[in-house]
Amino acid sequence: MTAGDATGSQTPLKDEDGSQLWLRYASPGRAAKSYRRIVRQIHVDGSSATSGIIRDELHAAIASMLGRAVLRNQNGFQAGALLVGTPTHSAWVRDLNWMGDLRAVGDEGYLIRSSTIANHRVTVIAANTETGALYGTFHFLRLMQTGQPIGRLDIAERPSLQVRLMNHWDNLNGTIERGYAGRSLWQWNELPEKLNARYTDYARACASVGINGAVINNVNADVRVLSPEYLRKAAALADLWRPFGVRMYLSANFAAPVRLGGLSTADPLDRKVADWWKAKADEIYGLIPDFGGFLVKANSEGQPGPKTYGRTHAQGANVLADALAPHKGMVMWRAFVYDEDVDPDRAKRAYLEFTRLDGQFRPNVAVQVKNGPIDFQPREPFHPLFGAMKQTPVIAEIQATQEYLGQAKHLVYLGTMWKEFLDSDTCAEGRGSTVAKVLAGQVHPSRITGMVSVTNPGLDANWCGHHFSQSNWYAFGRLAWNPELSAAEIAGEWTRMTFTNDEKAVAAIRDMMMSSRETFVDYTMPLGLHHLIGGDHYAPMPWNDRAPRADWTATYYHQASADGIGFDRTRSGNGAVEQYRPPVCELFDDIERCPEKYLLWFHRCGWDYRMKSGRTLWEELCAKYFAGAQQAAEMRDRWQSLHRIIDARRHGEVAKRLAIQVADSAAWRDRILEYFGR
């Protein structure tokens, strides 16, 4: 089997298992010739572990892409030198007189410029910190991997968001809640003595897209993770990740003072409880001096919390925040709460709980809000809490692990979904107040800005179960760094770095990715339908009317009957639409103007309701389900046409998943339409 690179030449393909993710450093094709003239020597100033990582990454990557090694650090520069450094460690960075521009990019940003030193044309990667220099290095290598021109560069980058975290739902027994790629990466029984090479590979992958931290345990937290035994294990990982700029965070169980500390209460206003948390924070920072902080799921789905003691979420968060504050740590308090006594509609409950607490949280607390008001559905309107909290930092929680989006069996690129979310206009302070601007503190000033992703890589060779699921890890990192990037641009980058620079193949794969989420929505839950599933969140179960809670059933949400379907959240219904600011509220409330993609989320409609297409609602639903299944089959066929361009192993593994997707899409179509057709 052979494949053509960008030059059209044919080279044998070697099977790959996906373990290198988007850091394969394959030949960029035609561009390699010019790169060899531009990059002849590498000079990295600094003797730290991070400098060593930069140096090793550059030499390995460029040698792999260009087919030959380049000169290592020399006393002098020559034409074609690639220089990496910071003002602290490098005299030539100081001599370039870029200090004003460097101040503008902050601690994590960088400059990449084509310049002249001692009459030699050189390429410079300069940053204020070595972590910034590492990010700049990966940016430069990304340009080479994707075949971009590097002869005349003038790049200045800084992250839009401060906090860019992986949220792992890993358990201490090695299982992963909503994990679809094998067992947990963290080998707790071997830590801290044995450090698996995969831990370094993980930190390197995160750093390559600007991810700067990880919460390594499940939000349904086992209290033992805060015990001395497990803190030493976490500290070993933190030490390994520190040179990559990846900080350690932990999910904390609110009842830890009782279950781990032996106290009689976890009441946040009890002095002994506060003292316990302060002592625990001191213990953690003694082991992990740059510990990032706690993520907390409280009073949600059986997890303990402050309401157990008649206290508020703010009071619960603040006792932990006070313990972390002397160490400059933070608390991420999840807004995923839906107590039935708050409101009959689950979609309204978090807004009601948290808006009344705005301004009551400590400065080092951020409320972590899912992108939509239910639970990572294939399509939801943005959560109304975005833009509603004027005095409290709000960070976004998205989910790359595809819990409700085909798990690791369906090809669903989520860059398009997240862009839809980030570009949504909250109108919190007038038009243009997008979610992205809210998160960046540009709508209401915010002490903490950020976005996190529930991303559950496991021990499978390709990390994510489905090769294309890697794209969602990648897209999260790129969007957390810069929410203004386009989903298509990110898909193109990932495709070139992961599979090939062949132009026709890149176009075909990018098109598959860009349409995949809409395809999934069409064959599962179109027109604003949501939660048509059972307990495993995978297969269609619109008939599901039995669960421990009514809001875990499907019938609670679709409310289908002989006279119609949909959840009436309008002003004349349960009023949920009023949690959005004008004119968003008016848009969603007006059945004639409400985007049809959200129609049944906000409106209850008769089966004969006339859609913009001229079809009745029932006819439109049928058309969506049939089109989605057809599009899944077309995606399978398009992938098959690439069998001479993608290596046989990965092509075959993806093809098997696509066959499952085609069969599943037909099953969704048939079961949903049969049920609603009654």
- What residues are annotated to the active site? 301, 375, 403
Decide: 498 and 26 in contact? Cβ < 8 Å. Answer: no
Where is 639: in which H helix or E strand?
helix 617-640
Decide: 451 and 164 in contact? Cβ < 8 Å. Answer: yes
Cβ burial, residue 48 (10 Å; 0-12/13-18/19+): exposed
**Integer CA distances (angstroms), 493 to 42, 64, 377, 464, in order:** 24, 18, 26, 18
Q: How far apart are CA 152 and CA 140, in angstroms?
A: 12
Under DSSP, the state recorded for 296 is E
Where is 323: in which H helix or E strand?
helix 313-324
Q: Which residues pair with 293 in a beta bridge?
A: 249, 330
Under DSSP, the state recorded for 540 is B
Q: How far apart are CA 48 and CA 45, in angstroms?
A: 9
Q: How far apart are CA 29 and CA 500, in angstroms?
A: 10
Q: Is the peptide bond before 583 cis (omega within 30 degrees of 0)?
A: yes
* Contacts with 677 (C-beta within 8 Å, 6 or more apart), sequence order: none
Q: How far apart are CA 92 and CA 579, in angstroms?
A: 55
* Contacts with 339 (C-beta within 8 Å, 6 or more apart), sequence order: 299, 307, 349, 353
Q: Which residues pair with 4 in a beta bridge?
A: 10
* Contacts with 595 (C-beta within 8 Å, 6 or more apart), sequence order: 587
Decide: 62 and 70 in contact? Cβ < 8 Å. Answer: yes
Q: What share of the chain is helix, strand, coil (3-state, %, to 5)?
A: 40, 15, 45
Which stretches of 150-255 are assigned E, i.e. beta strand?
154-157, 163-167, 213-215, 247-251
For the chain, give me the number of helices (H) and strands (E)? 21, 15
DSSP per position, 37-103: HH-SEEEE---SHHHHHHHHHHHHHHHHHHSS--B---SS--TTEEEEE-TTT-HHHHHTT-HHHHH
Q: How far apart are CA 141 and CA 82, in angstroms?
A: 12
Where is 333: in which H helix or E strand?
strand 330-334
- Tally Cβ neighbours within 10 Å of residue 75: 5
Task: Write out the two tokens for 490.
Answer: 């990110």
Q: How far apart are CA 409 and CA 250, in angstroms?
A: 29
* Phi, psi for residue 396 in degrees, rounded to 5: -95, 145
* Phi, psi for residue 368 in degrees, rounded to 5: -100, 115
Q: Is the peptide bond before 257 cis (omega within 30 degrees of 0)?
A: no
Q: How far apart are CA 247 and CA 661, in angstroms?
A: 37
Decide: 673 and 666 in contact? Cβ < 8 Å. Answer: no
